[in-house]
A and B are shown apart, each in its own frame.
Chain A
Amino acid sequence: MKLITALSNLILPLVIVYILSCGYSKKINVYEVFIEGAKEGFKVVADILPTLIGLMMAVGILRAGGTLELVSRALSPIVSRIGFPSEAVPISLMRLVSSSASTGILLDIFKNYGPDSFIGRFVSVMMSCTETVFYTMSIYFMSVKITKTRYTLAGALVANAAGMAASLALCRYLWG
């Protein structure tokens, strides 16, 4: 655990030191190049800001009006029939839409059931192999103004469903 934490904290400084060393050894004016590159990043963020505002506004409406809650509650009886824990329905759906909202539900589950309960372990594993599909897709595609995304959504949902099924099966095997 300590090793992994230390490693995670070390990775970025190591990358920066390595890149800078390579730059100096190739006799590049690293500061000037850095500023030039930073300008590019500046432009990209300025381009996505309107997208981000539009999307977060729509998600905010869904969350505040109770739509996400309603969907979760309506699906609970169905998913429990296939052995999916109903307590994990809201977080599984929210996971597809908003990272911060799903993290909020994750902490709520840890608080109420404990991180070492079956549901606590399941959501821990599930969160590490799934992605905020709708959010990510919107940001990436809207940044380049693509409106026809073809089979991307289907593929992302297949990947996430596979991750969730694998999480459920593995958690049942290990801690069931």
Chain B
Amino acid sequence: MLNYLWGAMIFVGILVAAFTGKMAEVTNGAVDSAKEAVTVSITMLGVMSMWTGIMKIGEEAGVTDSVKKLLKPFLKWLFPDVPENHRAMDYIAANVTANFLGLGWAATPAGLMAMKELQDLNRHRETASRAMCMFMIFNMSSLQLVSINIIAYRMQYGSADPSEIIGPGILTTLASTVAAIAFAKIMEAVK
């Protein structure tokens, strides 16, 4: 799917630009974005290496085990195909915890490692496993306690009560997460 999506994005983007007369902007946009990817990666390189380094200590000291134990019943229900003591579970637990606490940048490295471990368990190299689908859908339902950056932006633009959105935010993120789990579980049952 991504194979076609990626090409379609580029073809459609350039076609539209030809009609709107924005070819020069497209050239700049493509080159600038490619450049931006490297800038993002340099930041990611530091943050991710720091995170995996710390997590490695946690792993060897048994810290991730205790976090996992707390999430275990829930994760076991979400991922019946993943062996209980597999490293994938550690990274999934780390990703879910980081996302929930609003440490988005820390969640991504753990999430990518989780995918790598899930791929090791996957029998088909190019097709997503059930566990991968559940992990991705759950991840993208953005279960989180507080969006601290949104509150900061609201403050910046002079909101009388920047934090008034915390309560509604928790309720709506619960709604999206429940919908996500329900959908993935139904699809698992159907196929």
Contact = CB atoms under 8 A, between A and B. Distances in A.
Interface of A: 1, 4-5, 8, 11-12, 15-16, 18-20, 22-23, 25-26, 28, 30, 33-42, 44-46, 48-49, 52-67, 70, 103, 106-107, 110-111, 114-116, 120-121, 124-131, 133-134, 136-156, 158-163, 165-167, 170-171, 174
- Chain B contact-residue range equals 35 or more
B77 interface: no
Interface in B35-74: 36-38, 40-41, 44-45, 48-63
16 contacts: A19-B58, A22-B61, A23-B57, A46-B45, A57-B10, A62-B9, A64-B28, A65-B14, A124-B165, A140-B112, A143-B115, A146-B126, A147-B3, A149-B133, A159-B179, A170-B168
A106 B14 contact: no
Interface of B: 1-3, 5-6, 9-10, 12-14, 16-17, 20, 22-23, 25-26, 28-30, 32-34, 36-38, 40-41, 44-45, 48-63, 101-103, 106, 108-109, 111-113, 115-116, 118-119, 124-128, 132-133, 136-137, 139-142, 144, 146-151, 153-154, 156-166, 168-169, 171-173, 175-180, 183-184, 187
Nearest to A153: B1
B9 A58 contact: yes
Contact of A171 (B28, B168, B178): B168
A140 B109 contact: no
Contact of A144 (B116, B133, B187): B116
A154 B14 CA distance: 26
Contacts of B6: 54-55, 58, 138
A120 B23 CA distance: 33
B2 A159 contact: no
Contacts of A159: 137, 140-141, 176-177, 179-180, 183
Question: Which 4 A-B pairs rank lowest in CB-CB distance, beginning with the nearest?
Answer: A37-B56, A64-B29, A60-B33, A65-B17
B58 A66 contact: no
Looking at A62, A103, A148, the one whose CB has the most chain B CB atoms below 10 A away is A62
Contacts of B56: 33-34, 36-38, 40
Contacts of A1: 151, 162-163
A60 B147 CA distance: 26
Contact of A40 (B26, B52, B57, B161): B52
Contact of A143 (B34, B55, B116, B137): B116
Contact of A65 (B16, B61, B153): B16
A164 to B, nearest CB: 8
Nearest to B176: A163
